[in-house]
Amino acid sequence: MFKSSDKLKWRFPEIGSLDISEYPRESEFFKNTEKTEALVRESIQNSIDAKRKDTDTVEVTFTLATTDKNKVSPYIDELDRHLKSCKDINVDLKVFKESKFRFLNIEDFGTTGLSGEFSLDRPHSGSSEFYNFWRRKGYSEKKGQKGGRWGLGKTTFYMASDIRTFWGLTKRKEDNLSILMGSSVLQPHQVDGTRYQYNGSFLNKKDQPITDPKALSRFNETFNLIRDSEPGLSLVIPLFDDEIDVDSIIKSVIIHYFFPILRTDLKVKVFDERYSIEEEINSKTIHKNVKNVDWSSSTWDGKDIDKIIDFAEKAARAYEENPDEKEFKPQWGNSLNNEEDQDFQYIKNTSNSSISEEDFVDDIEDLRDSFKESKLLSFRVPVEIPLPDYNKKSYFDVFLKKYPKKVNVGEFYIRSGIILPEEKKRLGKRPVAGMLVADDELISTFLGDAEEPAHTKWNERTEGFRERYNKPIGTIRFIRNSMRDIAEVLRKSSSETFESLLNDVFYLTARENEEEKSEEKVDTVPEIEPDIDKQSEIVSKEKHTKPMTTNPTKIPSIPPSEKLFNISQIENGFYITYTGDNEYLPVEAEIKAAYDVDRGNPFNRYSKFDFKFSNDEIEIKISDGEKVNFENNSIHFKAIKKGFKLEITGFDPNRDLIIDLQEV
Looking at the structure, tell me whether residues 319 and 447 fall in a common domain.
Answer: yes
Which pLDDT belongs to residue 518? 35
407 and 514 part of one domain: no
Last residue of a domain, one of 231, 264, 291: 291
Confirm whether 209 is domain-assigned.
Answer: yes
User: Among 226, 229, 230, 254, which Cα is nearest to 62's?
Assistant: 226
Q: Based on the domain organization, do 450 and 513 belong to the same domain? A: no
pLDDT in tens, 394-419: 999 999 999 987 788 999 999 999 99
Q: Is the pLDDT of residue 533 over 60?
A: no
pLDDT for 80-102, tens place per residue?
889 888 876 666 666 677 789 99
pLDDT band with cut points at 50, 70 and 90 for residue 534: very low
pLDDT-derived band at 493 (thresholds 50, 70, 90) equals low
| Spatial contact of 394 and 384, defined as CB atoms under 8 Å apart | yes
Closest CA to 644 of 624, 619, 620: 624
**Between 251 and 526, the higher pLDDT residue:** 251
- 0.75 cut: is pTM over it? no
Tens digits of residue pLDDT in 436-461: 999 999 999 999 999 987 778 999 88
Domain count along the chain: 3
In a domain, 369, yes or no: yes
pLDDT (tens digit per residue) in 455-477: 789 998 888 899 999 999 999 99
Q: How far is CA 569 from CA 564, 634, 646, 657, in A?
A: 17, 18, 12, 11
Domain boundary among the residues 466, 491, 516 is at 491
Task: Report the C-alpha gap between 283 and 285 in whole angstroms.
Answer: 6
Q: Does residue 124 sit within a domain?
A: yes
Task: For residues 605 and 608, give the distance between their C-alpha atoms in angstroms, rounded to a whole number.
Answer: 10
Q: Which of 291, 326, 342 is the last residue of a domain?
A: 291
**How far apart (Å, rounded) are the C-alpha atoms in residues 105 and 318?**
35
| Together in a domain, 355 and 469 | yes
Among 5-19, 223-237, 308-322, 557-571, the minimum mean pLDDT is found in 557-571
Res 183: pLDDT: 95
Q: Who's near 599: CB < 8 A, 6+ residues apart?
A: none
Q: What is the largest CA-CA distance in the chain?
A: 98
* pLDDT of amino acid 593: 92
Instruction: Return the bridge partners of 237, or none.
Output: 104
Residue range 139-167: mean pLDDT, rounded = 69
Give me the residues paired with residue 565 across strands.
578
Handedness of CA 81, 85, 91, 97 (dihedral sign): positive
CA distance 455 to 151: 11
Does 74 score more than 50 pLDDT?
yes
* Average pLDDT across the chain, whole number: 81
Same-domain check for residues 284 and 312: no
Please classify residue 221 by burial: count the beta carbons closer than 10 Å to its beta carbon, then call 0-12 exposed, 13-18 middle and 19+ buried.
exposed
Q: Are residues 272 and 312 in the same domain?
A: no
- Beta-strand ranges (E) seen in 204-333 are 232-238, 266-272, 277-281
Q: How far apart are CA 537 and CA 606, in angstroms?
A: 16
Coil vs helix vs strand at 575: strand
What is the tens place of the pLDDT at every residue in 325-374? 444 444 333 333 333 444 577 787 656 778 888 888 778 898 999 999 99
Q: Is residue 261 in some structural domain?
A: yes
Task: Please enumerate in sequence order all residues whose Cβ is within 8 A of that of 30, keeping only pairs 6 or more positions apart, or say none.
Answer: 38, 155, 156, 159, 453, 454
Q: Are 123 and 91 in contact (CB under 8 A)?
A: no
pLDDT tens readout for residues 540-580:
443 333 333 333 222 222 233 457 889 988 888 999 999 88
Concatenated DSSP letters for 42-69?
Answer: HHHHHHHHTB-TT-S-EEEEEEEEEEEH
Q: How confident is the model at residue 77 (pLDDT cuts 50, 70, 90)?
A: confident
Q: Which DSSP state fits 511?
A: P
Q: Do 282 and 309 fall within a single domain?
A: no
Helix (H) or strand (E) holding 516: helix 512-518
Pairing of strands 506-507, 657-663: unpaired
Q: Is the pLDDT of residue 202 over 50?
A: yes
Residues 417 and 549 grouped into a single domain:
no
pLDDT of residue 561: 41
Nearest to 421 by CA among 450, 457, 459, 460: 457
Position 406 scores a pLDDT of 75
CA distance 192 to 81: 10
Q: Which helix (H) or strand (E) holds 386?
A: strand 377-386
Cα separation of the two ends of the chain: 59
Q: Quick one: pLDDT band at residue 581, thresholds 50, 70, 90?
A: confident
CATH at 141: 3.30.565.10
Whether 468 and 507 map to the same domain: the answer is no
Is 2 contained in some domain? Answer: no
pLDDT of residue 126: 59
Do 107 and 61 form a contact (C-beta atoms < 8 A)? yes
pLDDT the model gives residue 123: 60
The per-residue pLDDT for range 48-65, each reduced to its tens digit, is 999 999 999 999 999 999
With vertex at residue 71, the alpha carbon angle to CA 65 and CA 75, rounded to the nearest 5 degrees, is 95
Is residue 39 in a domain?
A: yes
CA count, 13 A, side-chain hemisphere, 461 = 0
Highest averaged pLDDT of the listed ranges 283-287, 377-381, 487-491: 283-287
Per-residue pLDDT at 631: 86
Q: Quick one: 505 and 483 in the same domain? A: no
- Predicted confidence band at 648 (pLDDT cuts at 50, 70, 90)? very high
**Closest by Cα among 229, 95, 103, 238 to 173:** 229
Q: Domain check: are 161 and 96 in the same one?
A: yes
Average pLDDT for 584-591: 87
pLDDT, tens digit, for every residue of 102-151? Answer: 999 999 999 999 999 988 776 655 578 999 899 887 544 544 444 443 34
For residues 408 and 519, state if they share a domain.
no
Q: Is residue 222 part of a domain?
A: yes
Q: Name 399's bridge partners.
A: 378, 435
The residue segments making up the domain with residue 354 are 305-491
- Asked whether residue 299 is domain-assigned, the answer is no
pLDDT level of residue 641 (50, 70, 90 thresholds): very high
